[in-house]
A = this chain, B = another copy of it.
Amino acid sequence: MSQVRELPLAKAINAGLRQALLDDEKVLLMGEDIGPLGGVFRVTEGLQAEFGARRVMDTPLAESGIVGTAIGLAMRGYRPVCEIQFDGFIYPAFNQITSQLAKLTNRHEGALTMPLVIRVPFGGHIGAIEHHQESPEAYFAHTPGLRVVTPSTPHDAYWMIQEAIASNDPVMFFEPKSRYWHKGPVDFAGSGIPLHSSRIIRSGTDVTLVGYGAMVTMLLRTAEIAESEGTSIEVVDVRSLSPVDYGPILDSAAKTGRVVIAAEAPGFASVASEIAATVAEKAFYSLEAPVLRVSGFDVPFPPAKLEAVYLPDADRILEAVDRAMTF
C-alpha cells in the first residue's frame, strides 16, 4: 500500500518534527511562539498539545538565549530543535552559533557531540516587512563546524528535518518560507535521503541551472520557458549548502558546458560565489561559457513593493541563460 500523501511543505516539516519527537524522547523543540500558537507559520502546530510544554517550549524572547541554552541541553544529552522566528532575527544568536555551537565538538576533541538543529524560515516572495525576507545562509556556510541544508519540496523537507535531528552535529535547517503553503507528494514509506546530497531534478543538454530552496521552483519554471524557446535545461537542486555535494553539479557542468547559478541572497561572497568558483575550477576544460550568477542585488532586502525586482525571476535567469548560450 502506498504511503504517499500530498502535503504543504510546512505540514511536511510538522510531520517530520512529530516523527522525531515520537522516535526519540531526547528531542525537544524550543523557540518563540512555537507552543499554543504553533509558530507564526504554524510549523509546530499541535505539537505542544501532543507532547507537552516540557518538550515543546516557548522560551523568553532572546535568540542568543535560545541557542545558548539549547547548547547546554545538548551537553546534557538532549537533541534540541530551535526555531528562529524569521531569517532576520538570527543575528542575536550569531555569537553562540559561530563561537560556541560550531566549535564545541572540536574544542572537546570529540568528547561531546552537538546534536542541535536550528530551523530558520528564509527568503522572500511573501511581501513582508524589513528583516522578514532575508537569505543569511552564506554566514553559516562559511562557518566551519556547521552543517547547512535546505529542502525545496515537502518530501525532502519531511525527510531532511529528521536526518538533521538525527545528526550528531549542529545543523542549520533553512526552510523556504514562500513554499510553506505549496503542496507536494510526501512518501512516508521512503527510506529518507542523505542529508548532504544535491540532485539533478530535471535533465537537459544545453545549460545547467543550479539553485536551492524556493529558487528551485523558479528554475523549473524557467526551464519550461527555455524549452519552449528551444533551449534544453538541466536543473540541480543543491539541497546541502555545507558541505556542497559537487558530484551531480560537476557531472551536469561536464555535460552542458554552461552553468548558471541562481539564489535570492546578495551575490557578493555568497554560496553562489563558492559554487561558481569551484565549478569554474573543476570543470575548467568543459566550460563553453563562464559560470554566471543571478542573485539578489547587493543591497538590503528592499520594501515589499520592490521584492519582485530584487528577487531573481524567470526573466532574469533566462537573460543569463541567453548570455551563456551566446557567449
Closest chain-B Cβ to A101's Cβ sits at a distance in Å of 11
Asked if residues B300 and A268 are in contact (CB atoms below 8 Å), the reply is no
CB-CB contacts below 8 Å: A78-137 with B = 88, 91-92, 94-95, 98-99, 102-103, 106-107, 130-131
| A281 B290 Cβ-Cβ under 8 A | yes
A291 interfacial contact with B, CB 8 Å: yes
A255 at the interface (CB under 8 A from B): no
A30: CB under 8 A from chain B?
no
Specify which of B95, B266, B277 is in contact with A142 (CB 8 Å cutoff).
B266
User: Distance (Å) between the CB of A147 and the closest chain B CB?
Assistant: 12
Interface flag for A226 (CB, 8 Å): no
Interface assignment of A217: CB less than 8 Å from any CB of chain B: no
Determine which of B95, B278, B297 lies in contact with A91 in the assembled complex, contact meaning CB atoms within 8 Å. Answer: B95
Indicate which residue in B141, B268, B276 contacts A141 across the interface (CB closer than 8 Å): B268
Interface string of A264-308 (1 = CB under 8 A from B): 001011111110111011101000011111000111100000000
1/0 contact string of A208-225 vs chain B (CB within 8 Å): 000000000000000000
The docked-state distance in angstroms from the alpha carbon of A280 to that of B272 is: 14
Across the interface, do A281 and B270 meet the contact criterion of CB distance under 8 Å? Answer: no
Alpha-carbon distance between A293 and B282 when the two chains are bound, in angstroms? 12
A258 to nearest B CB, angstroms? 12
Contact with B along A168-202 (1 / 0, CB 8 A): 00000000000000000000000000000000000
Give the contacts of A129-177 with B (CB-CB under 8 A): 130-131, 138-139, 141-145
A282 shortest CB reach to chain B, Å:
8
* Cα distance, A172 to B157, chains bound together (Å): 38
Q: CA–CA, A305 to B270, complex, Å?
A: 31
| Listed residue (A269, A273, A276) with the most chain B CB atoms within 10 angstroms of its CB | A269
Alpha-carbon gap, A269 to B130, bound state (A): 25
Q: Is A242 an interface residue (CB 8 A)?
A: yes
* Residues of chain B lying within 8 A (CB to CB) of residue A268: 141-142, 144, 242, 274
Cβ contact within 8 Å between A277 and B291: yes
The 5 listed contacts between A and B (C-beta, < 8 Å) are A106-B300, A145-B299, A269-B273, A273-B278, A280-B281
Known contacts A91-B98, A141-B268, A142-B269; 4 additional CB pairs below 8 A are A142-B270, A145-B299, A273-B276, A282-B290
**A residues whose Cβ falls under 8 Å from a Cβ of B:** 88, 91-92, 94-95, 98-99, 102-103, 106-107, 130-131, 138-139, 141-145, 242, 266, 268-274, 276-278, 280-282, 284, 289-293, 297-300, 327
